[in-house]
Amino acid sequence: MLNLSARRRRKLFPYLILGPGLLWLIVFFAIPLANQAYVSLQTGDPESGYTFTWAFNTYPDAISTYSDQFLRSFAYAGVATVICFVIGFPLAYFIAFKAGRWRNVMLLLVVVPFFVSYVLRTVSWQLILNDNGWVVARLRDIGVLAPDGRLLATNVAVIAGIAYNFLPFMTLPLYVSLEKIDRRLIEAATDLYASRATAFRRVTLPLALPGIFAGSLLTFIPAVGDFINAALLGTPNQYMIGNVIQSRFLNILDYPTAAALSFVLMAVILVGILAYARVLGTRSLTEAAV
Partner 1 sequence: MSAAAAGGPRTTADRIRAVGLGLWAALAVLYLFIPIFIVVLFSFNDNKGRFNFTWQGFTLKHWQDPLADADLATALQNSLVIAGITVLIAVVLGTFIAIALVRYGFRGRGAVDLFIFVPLATPEVVLGAALLALFLTLNVNTGFTTIVIAHVMFSISYVVVTVRARLEGMDKFIEEAAMDLGATEWTTFRKITIPMIAPGIASAALLVAALSIDDYVITSFNAGQTQTFPLFIFGATRQGVPPEVNVLATMLLAVVLVLMGVGVMVQRRAARRERPGSAVPKPGAVPSAATS
Does residue number 128 form part of the binding site for partner 1 (CB under 8 A)?
Answer: yes
Nearest CB to partner 1, comparing residues 143 and 184: 184
Does residue number 74 form part of the binding site for partner 1 (CB under 8 A)?
Answer: no
Residue from 7, 17, 57, 235 that binds partner 1 (CB under 8 A)? 17
Stretch that binds partner 1, among 12-20, 63-71, 137-145, 149-157 (CB under 8 A): 12-20
Nearest CB to partner 1, comparing residues 120 and 143: 120
Per DSSP, the residues of the chain read -HHHHHHHHHHHHHHHHHHHHHHHHIIIIIHHHHHHHHHHTEEEETTTEEEE---TTHHHHHHHHTHHHHHHHHHHHHHHHHHHHHHHHHHHHIIIII-GGGHHHHHHHHHGGGGS-HHHHHHHHHHHT-TTSHHHHHHHHTTSS-TT--STTSHHHHHHHHHHHHHHHHHHHHHHHHHHS-HHHHHHHHHTT--HHHHIIIIIHHHTHHHHHHHHHHHHHHHHH--HHHHHH--GGG--HHHHHHHHHHTS--HHHHHHHHHHHHHHHHHHHHHHHHHHT---HHHHH-
Residue from 62, 80, 106, 212 that binds partner 1 (CB under 8 A)? 106
Residue from 80, 186, 208, 230 that binds partner 1 (CB under 8 A)? 186
Least distance CB 7 / partner 1 (angstroms): 11
Nearest CB to partner 1, comparing residues 64 and 132: 132
Stretch that binds partner 1, among 54-62, 138-146, 150-158, 179-187 (CB under 8 A): 179-187
Task: Please name every residue paired with 44 in a beta bridge, in sequence order, or none if there are none.
Answer: 50
Residues 20-49 that bind partner 1 (CB under 8 A): 20-22, 24-25, 28-33, 35-36, 39
Residues 201-230 that bind partner 1 (CB under 8 A): 217, 221-222, 224-228
- To the nearest 10°, report the CA torsion of 242, 244, 245, 249: 140
Does residue number 71 form part of the binding site for partner 1 (CB under 8 A)?
Answer: no
Stretch that binds partner 1, among 54-62, 63-71, 97-105, 137-145 (CB under 8 A): 97-105
Least distance CB 89 / partner 1 (angstroms): 10
Residue from 74, 125, 166, 239 that binds partner 1 (CB under 8 A)? 125
Residues 6+ away with beta carbon under 8 Å from 160? 125, 129, 233
Residues 138-157 that bind partner 1 (CB under 8 A): none
Does residue number 270 form part of the binding site for partner 1 (CB under 8 A)?
Answer: yes
Nearest CB to partner 1, comparing residues 90 and 236: 90
